[in-house]
Amino acid sequence: MADTVLHEVTDGLATITLNRPHAMNALDTELKEALRDALREAAADPAVRAVLLTGTGRAFCVGQDLKEHVKLLEADRTSGTGRTMDTVREHYNPIATAIAEMPKPVVAGVNGVAAGAGAGFAFAADYRIAAATASFNTSFTGVALTADSGVSWTLPRLIGRGRASDLLLFPRNVGAAEALELGMVNRVVPEDELAAEAEAVARRLASGPTVAYAAVKESLDHGSCHSFTETLAKEEELQARAGASEDHRIAVDAFVKKGQPRYLGR
């Protein structure tokens, strides 16, 4: 694993940390490939039951590394190939998909600035905890680009289309307090408490009923773009899956015996 991404698994929790603090965790090719691969590894690892995504330094992730981007655009002009924006297909789409479709919960511990694709990755997570000093900025149109990393899907579902349109057409810094008010984040904590709080939430999820959590994610995604009747049918399918899980039997048994369930994640 490249040093630009740190990946550690302990007690069912995969902690994936963007680690280019000198560049505010800007997304160069090396980091994008390492992050994509780490997320895919976490998704496939049966020992992982939850993921914590965070960053080192002053930023969560400021999006595309524009210094590298300028060089790639110049190479495109020289060669006439126009491959720079292939990164959306090769990197941004797979990363956002890996987060959103992870069959286990993903917590974003937003430790600082989250901009562009960095904000998109946070929005794709299931639960967002932000430091009080953190901020969000869509930033795309500020460099004459449109949304990627799923932002045009996730952001309207978090804060509504009108507000999402405003922030995409007129990008600006949204502080943590406003982000909480808008619904961008679930919780805001003091900066020096973020690491502990984010880990505590992620570890709670890592010890929970993993099959049920995966079903909740799938149900919410399905329900956001299907009719009520279709959603009922999907809930029936997913409830059958959760009901057949070992964790469901463990939970029911613990309830009857007035004890605390110890879930196995299956």
The answer to whether residues 162 and 220 belong to one domain is no
Please tell me the total count of domains within the chain. 2
Write the CATH number for 217. Answer: 1.10.12.10
The answer to whether residues 131 and 242 belong to one domain is no
What is each CA distance from 31 to 68, 91, 101, 109, in whole angstroms? 12, 10, 20, 18
The answer to whether residues 103 and 162 belong to one domain is yes
pLDDT reported for residue 77:
85
Exposed e or buried b for every residue in 242-252, given b needs 16+ CB within 10 A? beebebbebbe
Write the CATH number for 86. Answer: 3.90.226.10
pLDDT tens sequence across 154-179: 999 999 999 999 999 999 999 999 99
> What domain range is 234 assigned to?
210-256
The answer to whether residues 159 and 233 belong to one domain is no
Beta-bridge partner residues of 187: 129
Has residue 19 been placed in a domain? yes
The answer to whether residues 126 and 247 belong to one domain is no
pLDDT tens sequence across 50-86: 999 999 999 999 999 999 888 888 888 888 777 888 8
pLDDT tens sequence across 199-208: 999 999 999 9
Q: What is the pTM of this model?
A: 0.94
pLDDT reported for residue 78:
85
Please count the CA atoms within 13 angstroms of the CA of 198 that sit on its side-chain side: 31
pLDDT grade for 132, boundaries at 50, 70 and 90 = very high
pLDDT reported for residue 1:
47
Phi, psi dihedral angles at 216 (to 5 degrees):
-60, -45
Beta-bridge partner residues of 68: none
The answer to whether residues 175 and 244 belong to one domain is no
Has residue 261 been placed in a domain? no
Has residue 264 been placed in a domain? no
Give the Cβ contact number of residue 257 at 10 Å.
Answer: 9
The answer to whether residues 38 and 87 belong to one domain is yes
- 155 within 8 A of 121, measured Cβ to Cβ: no
Has residue 236 been placed in a domain? yes
Tokens representing 144 are: 């004459």
